[in-house]
Structure 1
Amino acid sequence: MRYASLGSGSRGNATIVLQEDRGVLIDCGFNRKTILQRLQDANVDPRQLDGVFVTHEHGDHAKGVAALCEVLNIPFFASFGTARKMQWTDNPLWRCIHSDQVVSVGGLAVLPVVVPHDAEEPLQFVLENSTEKRLGVLSDLGSLTPHIVSVYQRCHALQVEANHDPMLLQNGPYPPSLRARVAGNFGHLSNQQCAELISRVRWDGLQYVTAGHISEKNNDRALVSQTLSQALECAPHEVSLLQQDQVSAWRQL
């Protein structure tokens, strides 16, 4: 199994996961033209995709899903709450998924995980291949529940959210209501919460950790690196941070 971020941040998110020559997208928060270009940049033929898994209905995760899947004639997988909010329930390509019920697509077993976020029925995902290599993708949640910590144990790779620094958020440009939403239990993980999660699930088999969904207004990449380096027991320059407008390197499990 190998994976790469096609872009991560408040202006769009998508992750490609391949098992041999078939694979899936996690989210498609870019328009069809942009996502097709990002796939090309990653040397992926769109015809290799067997589906798109959607975390929730917010535009930076879902706005390009239907358009991409319709042109490729592939299914997209989302909770009923997400599909209802996006008005997808009558779309013949939509497949309803439920938390903790594994879906097998493209040689991957995909486990939806319920998370606390201010959306209708948000999910995140843990993907496993036939050799039991596990990739945990986790963003857009405001707090760490015991269930999340349990499910994300023994992942060989983590792609996790480090959205904001609390001080920068409180002193940043957002109005008070939006600051409260981001910092709340149904908002986004801070750098410190991200570090806490890493510390709680880290084990000898964890090969890769990448941090994404980094706010351009309420965070600083140097702060992310510094905070996470302590949890990873590495130098700050060794912490891998995802970019909004750039495809990441491939990582192989």
Structure 2
Amino acid sequence: MRFALLGSGSAGNSLVVQEGHTTLLLDCGFSLRETILRLARLGLEPEQVSGLLLTHEHVDHSRGAYRFSGHFKAPLYITHGTRVMLEPPPDHLDLRIIDVHDTFTVQDIEVHPYPVPHDAREPAQYVFSNGQSRLGVLTDTGNSTPHIESMLTGCHALVLECNHDIDMLMTNPRYPYPLKQRIRGDYGHLDNMTSKALLSRLDNSSLRHIVAAHLSEKNNRPELARAALSEALNCSEDWINVATQTEGTGWLDLE
């Protein structure tokens, strides 16, 4: 199993995970054209996508979902809450409503959704498995919970939100105070230190890759995210991957 991020940040998010002939997209926050271009950078054709999953309805995660799913006939998996917050889907769309607590399978990949606290209707994050390796994804959550940590512990790879540095956020003169409170609130986004603390509570003995994701371009810096996560893992900062808005990441193998 392998994975890559097509891009990560407030302007658009998408992740691809692949096992055998199964290719899944998690979120589609880019236009149809941009998503195709970013898949091509990884050597993928859009027709290879076996299914598309959404974490929640915010536009930086859902912008291109309907068009991609409909154009390439990829089933779209979303929670009921996410569905009601989006525009009505076209009739030809293969829409599949999931329960945020129920595991399901898409061909060769087991998908384990789980709920998170975020300012969306029914947000979900995911753990992907091929039966041997596990990829855990956590972005767009205001804080951690025991259930989140039980889902992510023991993973072989993690994509973990490091949205902002608290000092940078709170001293940013362009952000009004209510927005700052929303971002750092219980239904907002994880800051570097909260992600560090979360990571330190997990069993990371099998961890082969970690990616700091959803970094704010105005309220964080890659070196701050790397420093925080490397301290939690007691590893070199160079071992921490950072997903960028423009480039995402290259392929990362779990085997």
State the match for 1:58 in structure 2: 58
How far is the alpha carbon of 1:251 from its aligned partner? 1.1
Q: Secondary structure at the match of 1:201?
A: coil
d(CA) in 2 for partners of 1:72 and 1:100?
Answer: 28
1:46-77 Cα offsets, whole Å, 9 max, x none, are 11111101000001000100000111011100
How many Å apart are 1:152 and its aligned residue? 1.0
* Distance change >3 Å, CA 247–CA 187, structure 1 → 2: closer
1:85 offset after TM fit, Å? 0.4
1:80 and 2:74 matched: no
Indicate the residue corresponding to 1:17 in structure 2: 17
Deviation at 1:153, TM superposition (A): 1.3
Alpha-carbon distance in structure 2 between the residues aligned to 1:209 and 1:203: 10
2 CA distance for matches of 1:42 and 1:62?
21
2:187: which partner in 1? Answer: 186
Query: Cα distance, 1:88 vs. partner?
Result: 3.8
Give the aligned length.
252
User: Over residues 13-34 of structure 1, what are the superposed CA-to-partner deviations in whole Å (9 max), with x where a residue is unaligned?
Assistant: 0000001122100000000000
- Residue number in structure 1 paired with 2:244: 243
- 2:127 is equivalent to residue 126 of structure 1: yes
- Deviation of 1:202 after TM superposition, in Å, equals 3.4
Per-residue deviation at 1:167?
Answer: 0.7
Task: For residue 6 of structure 2, give the secondary structure of its aligned residue in structure 1.
Answer: strand
Give 2:103's aligned amino acid.
Answer: V
Identity of aligned residues (%): 38
Partner of 2:48: 48
SS at match of 1:71: helix
Give the TM-score of the pair, scaled to structure 2: 0.96
8 Å CA contact 1:42–1:247 kept in 2: the answer is no
In the TM superposition, residue 90 of structure 1 has moved relative to its aligned partner by 6.5
**Stretches (4+) displaced over 2 A:** 87-92, 235-238
Q: Per-residue CA shift, 1:117-166, capped at 9, x if unaligned? A: 00000000001113x21100110000001110111111111011000011
Give distance in 1, aligned partners of 2:140 and 2:250: 22
Q: CA contact under 8 A between 2:66 and 2:89: conserved in structure 1?
A: no
Deviation by residue 1:193-222 (Cα, 9 ceiling, x = unmatched): 111121111321111111110000111211
Task: Give the CA deviation at 1:89.
Answer: 5.9
**One-letter amino acid of the counterpart of residue 207, structure 1:** R
**Which residue is equivalent to 1:197?**
198
Q: Which residue type is aligned with residue 177 of structure 1?
A: P
Q: Which runs of 5+ in 2 are unaligned?
A: none
- 5+ residue gaps, structure 1: none
CA contact (8 A) 1:23 1:106 kept: no
Q: Mean alpha-carbon deviation: is it higher for 197-206 or for 54-63?
A: 197-206
Distance 2:33 2:70 in 1: 13
- 1:38 equivalent in structure 2: 38
Equivalent position amino acid for 1:118 in 2? D
2:147 aligns with 147
Greater CA drift, 66-75 or 220-229: 220-229
